[in-house]
A and B are shown apart, each in its own frame.
Chain A
């Protein structure tokens, strides 16, 4: 057989087989992976909203708002925000007070930050409280904007402390919150 023809044929066949195997495997694993994702989302929303007895869903542009109500009074609003991190998209759920002035809770849904450094935004094994980074956002004021400080404890009520060695990841989280909360607030008030 012609040499070049054989080359083309062999590589094509290998690629076709590989593609077929992978598409079957993807079909098989995708539902399980998606289930993990939606389970995680549901669980986080429940954790993030303050005490409530009903949740109302509201679609605003690209955002899905989960409005927590206690006896028909809005107690908190949670929604998913996304944006660029150090290497890939960081996606998180943020809870805010009904007037969008303060953050009530923050949880990271998914991220692909550097293991051991940027991943501290989710879990910091070197700290007594591994979730300190996201927990410090509780009661942080959104106005005029959230600011991060390095190597010192935050002194103002719109400041948070960045992670040593992972400033870019910390900064990304802050930026994502600043841009998205403002956008959602605007849309929500205009509704």
Chain B
């Protein structure tokens, strides 16, 4: 491993752009496509997933030497499920509206491959500090894309952003944007733009 060459800051930053879970690895697309009907939903989903990925990565990293390789996946899932349930109950108790909006997608974070992927590919092989930064970066990257996607779909599909009217008065909302096709359209365009920006960067 070229671990020594990667600075701590790069460890954090790579999850946001170079290895963004959605735009580059295309992981965790199920919640991405399903809940991003508004920026608020995207933000709540992103923060819940960030909490889960960071907490699980830290615990997995602490336990990485005592978890036998044969039971690692089962152990990771139990650890992830614990944090997801904590987040789910927390939202239901303190943010009942958001919890109703996101419905089954909060419990479904358990099977989000982005989170299991971080445990398998990173936290189980690296120390606590690096695992924390890696997971935090990936979580932020996930959240930013979800908020952008939710924002675009909310503006075009409902004419609002975070529930506030932003479009002109007689703007007719494009209902398709908050339906599933809108999710694919918006996500496809976002991935396209990010690839285009990457190419521009390489040419320089």
Contact = CB atoms under 8 A, between A and B. Distances in A.
Interface of A: 3, 6-7, 10-11, 14-15, 18, 21-22, 25-26, 29, 32-33, 36, 87-88, 110-117, 119, 122, 125-126, 164-165
Contacts of A21: 82, 86
A125 B178 contact: yes
Interface of B: 34-35, 37-38, 41, 63, 66-68, 70-71, 74-75, 78-79, 81-82, 85-86, 89-90, 92-94, 96, 100-105, 157-158, 160, 173, 175, 178-180
Nearest to A39: B96
A29 B105 contact: no
A175 to B, nearest CB: 20
Contact of B89 (A10, A33, A164): A33
A27 to B, nearest CB: 10
Contacts of B38: 125
B89 A126 contact: no
Max count, chain B CB within 10 A of own CB: residue among A15, A32, A115, A125: A115
Contacts of A25: 85-86, 89
B79 A14 contact: yes
A111 B34 CA distance: 16
Contacts of B66: 10
A126 B104 contact: no
Contact of B100 (A3, A26, A32, A110): A110
A116 B89 CA distance: 22
Contacts of A122: 100
Given A7-B70, A11-B74, A116-B37, A165 B179 contact: yes
Main SS at interface, chain B: helix
Contacts of A117: 179-180
Contact of A6 (B68, B92, B100): B68
A126 B171 CA distance: 11
Contacts of A87: 103-104
A33 B92 contact: yes
Nearest to A35: B93
The list of the 4 closest CB pairs from A to B, nearest first, reads: A116-B37, A32-B93, A29-B93, A18-B82
Given A29-B89, A125-B38, A10 B103 contact: no
A119 B38 CA distance: 13
A33 B94 CA distance: 8
A7 B68 contact: yes
B178 A18 contact: no
B32 to A, nearest CB: 12
B103 to A, nearest CB: 4
A36 B96 contact: yes
Contact of B78 (A11, A111, A113): A11
Given A11-B75, A14-B75, A110-B100, A126 B175 contact: yes
B101 A7 contact: no
Contacts of B100: 110-111, 122
Nearest to B69: A7
B81 A18 contact: yes
A126 B158 contact: yes
B102 A10 contact: no
